[in-house]
Structure 1
Amino acid sequence: MPTVSTKIKVSKDGQYIMAAGTYKPRIRCFDTYQLSLKFERCLDSEVVTFDILSDDYSKIVFLQCDRYVEFHSQHGRYYRTRIPKFGRDFSYHYPSCDLYFVGASSEVYRLNLEQGRYLNSLQTDASENNVCDINPIHGLFATGAAEGKVECWDPRTRNRVGVLDCALSSVTVDTEIDGLPSISALKFNGALNMAVGTSTGQVLLYDLRSNNPLIVKDHQYGLPIKSIEFQDPLDLIISADSRIIKMWNKDTGKIFTSMEPEHDINDVCLYPNSGMLLTANEDPKMNIYYIPVLGPAPKWCSFLDNLTEELEENPESTVYDDYKFVTRKDLENLGLAHLIGSPLLRAYMHGFFMDIRLYHKVKMMVNPFAYEEYRKEKIRQKIEETRAQRVQLKKLPKVNKELALKLIEEEEEQQLPRKKKQKNLPNILTDDRFKVMFENPDFQVDEKSEEFRLLNPLVSKISEKRKKKLKILEQQEAQEQEEEEEPEGKPSDAESSETSDDEKGWVEEVRKQRKLLRQEEKVKRQERFKEDQQTTLKPQFFEIKAGEEFRSFKDSAKKQKLMKKTLGDRLKLEEKLGILSVSDTTVGSKQMTFKLKKSGQQKKQQEAEKQHHLERKQLRRSAGHLKSKRGRRGPF
């Protein structure tokens, strides 16, 4: 489309795909068997929706935004009529040849195509109707109202047979501000199932025998549902709003997959009996998605199956599969800081990508015994796993022992009778998510770091008590003797006096830590200053080539001539030369030249000009044998 496509549908025989769009308002028909555009027709106003009544493209009905209804045949527009109110959707009832129009009115207008006249309209209780649909099995006609209700009518008796209130089942937090959700999409599946989409982004699946929805699926975006399709082979529902297309199981509600295109979605169409999706969106190009799991490719593009099979057999590696991500600190540890800025390192976010083979080579050179250490660590882990199967006493982990002891003490305090009123918090030691924290030495808390020393001065004092307990526990484990511990819940007098001292002297501890950090910073500065004094700067000499001594003066003369010319002439000259020069006269005489990248058309044009000049030179003849003869007059 020139700008935007609004609706897209497939004919019943599957040979033609029709799409409506703007601007200017038009309809395009694509022939799938020929993989080409069949025809294009421009319309007087924009298309709200359309439907293909025949098996091919020979009978089409368009509902336009100016209340006009147009009927098209193979040659073009066949007939045009108008409805009383602005229409929003319509459905065609095949047994009676009736068109049902809903829109900005409480009435449903009926136009009989066999008799060629309007029939008595259906009077609904809604102020406005947004969507409608007809069940293809038993012919039940349903309308979706702006008040969030669905009314069902029997076309044979023209009486209402039921009302379904969907707004109460899809109430969200934002309904108090935005009002009750309205019905924005409606679709029947089989004789008993019906899916309803709301303006707040929910999809409700109903059984016509029940007032309560079987399942409610929320898109979580708060945008109106624009399209609903059923995929029966896998029992999936394909629902779409303007941002996302979701495929989910209609029995469990589990997400199968989802797609978020770059541009907003206006309509979604599922090609029958295949895994192909067609979308009309806010972009000139209409998107086509092929999902092999949903079904095979259509006959007219069966080559897609072969392509997907080849892609599955030969998976392509991503760009950074053979690279290792390292930070600046890692490069300093490996001694590769001098490679920053070279092609061997690719800058990315807060670090660099380097070749994994180079990384392993340097790692082996820096630490040749890394493999042996890794092997010993793996053997130790396997031995510990076998030991864990034996019956053994409770003991502290080898990593973060103080933290584990602290958690054990807190758990014991919660079990005391005086602490019953407090909430029982989950224990990290028994949680599998934090298991690695007490097994992997990389997660060991560094007590010598600045953050730990400054932010936890009181914790460091309390940790001294735990260290004493740790020593006692380690001695007990070494000796394998069980000793009775002090009764829990009653702190000793020594501990109470220590806590009072801690409360008084925690400020002094902070000051001491700050003084120590300042002294360490001074020592580091002195070491850096000594290193800077030891480094000597070597003078750099530059060689001036012969004939380049007065190049700057020649360039200045050329610049003065160029400055007299107009900007267009200068740009044309630079394009011909293929060089863009930028000079800086503020600091010395500097000049930078940039070679402009020529397009393929410019290169072809230059080659054609060269060939033309060569041909002219070959054909050119000298005019020396011609001499001017003065004084001779002609016969006249």
Structure 2
Amino acid sequence: MVTRVGAQTAIYCLSDGARLPAWAEQSDQARRKALKRDEKLGRRVELLQGLEFEGGASRRIKFSDDGRMLVCTGEYPPACKVFELSQLGQKYERRLGCAAVDVWPLSPDLGKMVFLLSDRTLDFHAPYGTHYKVRVPSAGRRLLYDGAKCTLHVASGQRSVAHRLDLDSGTFLSDLEVGAPSSCCDLGRGVPLTAFGCEDGIVRFFDARTSSIQPVALLDVGNDVTALAFDGDGLRIACGTADAEVKLYDLRSKRPTLTKAHQNLLPIVDLKWHSSSRETASSLILSSDARVLKAWDSRDGKVFTNVEPSSPLNHVAVAPSSDERDSGLILMAGEQARVMAYYVPALGRAPRWCAFLDSLTEELEEKGQSHFEDYRFVSRTELDELGGEAFVGTPQLRAHAHGFFMDARLYKRLRAAAAPYAYDDYKKQKVAKKLAEKQESRIRRAEVLPAVNAELAQRLLSPPEEDKPRKRGKKKSKQGLPTPTEANPLGDDRFGAMFTDERFQVDESTEEYRLRHPPVKSKK
């Protein structure tokens, strides 16, 4: 089910809808029965079939250079899945010896890939499976491949060096002296520079054209660098730190041009430069920590939109579009079985392989679908009153803003248990409201009654029960004359003097009046 989770900027969640049970996936007949039983299953949108890891979490997710293939690693057990996007399905799945720390595609069709495993092993894969394995001197954290020199870099998390492997000759090259354990690395697109972000808060740059193992420049960021990314021109670099800050630098200056802070005070997990349209080309940055992904303008720091995932983030990938720009489809690897998928139309159009998202979201906007139509927002105080503290941290509650989104059915059950006499109180309030309205109408009618012949005027303004209309519409008499409620004698010039002149006062206590107006029993 496509659910809108953004208030000002439209953000559609594609991965939190209903799921087919395991028994229904065994056969087509069981699947059809499940679809008949649950209406939500029939309205679900499955972006890619099999884009999940039943055992636990997804770690890394990357697109091929041409945007036609997708690789995702996860656990448990450790495995990688490759998807052919034009077919909207999984192409194959392979099991790995241990958990994959990082993955790097080596060919456009993902036939050749290299995995950095947690046991210090580089696992090279070919179309037929594992091709070769080699151990690196120390445990690595990130991979970086320089296609121009056919060199694979491994950022070490234990030593103050970065390992290099020449894939052409199949030999290790001299390690780069980075000065401290490194957490991230990136390759400049427009300049021949390789950058490594280190734990001592310094980004070290190496000239990719030379064989020197010493850095050519240093950039002091101030804290442990956990993520970095060059822009499309290679003249600017974004550095994310462990103290939840993103600093933008021009390579010609050592002072940051802009500093953006995350409010969650969590280390920056990933950084992406986003070019979606001509108006926002190369100006948006997607920075993410474990709880939120922020899209903001690199020129003034103004927040474009925020995406709050349903589980902690591990990695973020933006699907490329057909016009060599980034689309609005964002895939997130996190601590849950299903890979999270969000579509933000304001960031860019959907890729060609899922172009149906544009028409689908436009239709939802026309219908005016409400945010979280199957959920109800409750604050922390209201949750305590309902006695639902035990559901914090479970899938039944989703943290949002200053409260939680709760399933509407669960909210009704907790409400009924917390206030068992709420319906009786509601009935009493309705009865009291009706009595108050009647009393108020009587007071208003008494205020408009004349001083002369007030009782007669009240009887004329209030028709008897048998004359009151029982159906909708105005009741007409047999002669076609209006009912007493339609004819108002108080404003008629022929009878107006009866209610203003005291000489026409009717004395109902006289014997003559009682003889002329005997009491009449009302009809049943």
The bucket for the TM-score relative to the shorter chain is 0.5 to 0.7
SS in 1 for 2:108: coil
SS in 2 for 1:224: coil
1:542-557 matches, cutoff 5 A: none
Match in the other structure for 2:150:
97
Q: Distance in 1 between matches of 2:177 and 2:146?
A: 18
Summarize the Cα distance change of 1:348–1:122 in structure 2 as closer, same or farther, 3 Å threshold. Answer: same
Q: 2:301 aligns with which of 246, 253, 264?
A: 253
Summarize the Cα distance change of 1:366–1:206 in structure 2 as closer, same or farther, 3 Å threshold. Answer: farther
Matched, 1:242 2:285: no
Summarize the Cα distance change of 1:110–1:369 in structure 2 as closer, same or farther, 3 Å threshold. Answer: farther
Give the superposed CA RMSD. Answer: 2.9
Q: Distance in 2 between matches of 1:89 and 1:49?
A: 6
Q: Distance in 1 between matches of 2:340 and 2:274?
A: 19
SS in 2 for 1:163: strand
Q: 2:363 aligns with which of 277, 294, 310?
A: 310
The range that moved more, 309-318 or 280-289, is 309-318
Q: 1:188 aligns with which of 205, 230, 235?
A: 230
Q: Distance in 1 between matches of 2:351 and 2:292?
A: 24
Q: Distance in 2 between matches of 1:354 and 1:139?
A: 73
Note the C-alpha offset of 1:120.
1.7
Note the C-alpha offset of 1:22.
0.9
The range that moved more, 281-290 or 226-235, is 226-235
Larger Rg: 1
Q: Distance in 2 between matches of 1:256 and 1:162?
A: 33
SS in 2 for 1:144: strand
Q: Distance in 1 between matches of 2:202 and 2:81?
A: 35
SS in 2 for 1:217: strand
TM-score if structure 2 supplies the norm length?
Answer: 0.59
Summarize the Cα distance change of 1:165–1:311 in structure 2 as closer, same or farther, 3 Å threshold. Answer: same
Letter in 2 for 1:284: A
Aligned residues: 332
SS in 1 for 2:364: helix
Larger RCO, structures 1/2 (Cα 8 Å, 6+ apart): 2
Match in the other structure for 2:68:
15
Match in the other structure for 1:452:
none
Report if aligned partners of 2:84, 2:90 keep a CA contact under 8 Å in 1. Answer: yes
Match in the other structure for 1:205:
248
Match in the other structure for 2:172:
118
Summarize the Cα distance change of 1:76–1:218 in structure 2 as closer, same or farther, 3 Å threshold. Answer: same
Report if aligned partners of 2:122, 2:136 keep a CA contact under 8 Å in 1. Answer: yes
Q: Distance in 2 between matches of 1:370 and 1:20?
A: 76
Letter in 1 for 2:247: L
Q: Distance in 2 between matches of 1:242 and 1:67?
A: 25
Note the C-alpha offset of 1:161.
1.7
Matched, 1:228 2:271: yes
Q: Distance in 2 between matches of 1:256 and 1:232?
A: 13
Match in the other structure for 1:164:
219
SS in 2 for 1:28: strand
Q: Distance in 1 between matches of 2:97 and 2:254?
A: 43
Report if aligned partners of 1:364, 1:370 keep a CA contact under 8 Å in 2. Answer: no
Letter in 2 for 1:111: L
Greater fraction of residues in helix: 1
Q: Distance in 1 between matches of 2:106 and 2:78?
A: 21
1:615-630 matches, cutoff 5 A: none
SS in 2 for 1:305: helix
SS in 2 for 1:274: strand
SS in 1 for 2:361: helix
TM-score if structure 1 supplies the norm length?
Answer: 0.49
Q: Distance in 2 between matches of 1:299 and 1:117?
A: 41
Please list every run of 5 or more consecutive structure 1 residues that lacks an aligned counterpart in the other structure.
Answer: 168-180, 321-342, 372-636
Match in the other structure for 1:88:
141
Match in the other structure for 2:126:
73
SS in 2 for 1:313: helix
Identity within the alignment, %: 37
Letter in 1 for 2:248: L
Note the C-alpha offset of 1:265.
0.8
Note the C-alpha offset of 1:122.
1.5
Match in the other structure for 2:482:
none
Note the C-alpha offset of 1:366.
5.8
Q: Distance in 2 between matches of 1:317 and 1:131?
A: 40
1:136-155 matches, cutoff 5 A: 136-155=189-208
Match in the other structure for 1:437:
none
1:503-522 matches, cutoff 5 A: none
Greater fraction of residues in strand: 2
Note the C-alpha offset of 1:31.
1.7
Note the C-alpha offset of 1:368.
5.0
Letter in 2 for 1:304: L
Match in the other structure for 1:216:
259
Report if aligned partners of 1:93, 1:139 keep a CA contact under 8 Å in 2. Answer: no
Give per-residue Cα distances to partners, 1:483-538, cap 9 Å, x unaligned.
xxxxxxxxxxxxxxxxxxxxxxxxxxxxxxxxxxxxxxxxxxxxxxxxxxxxxxxx
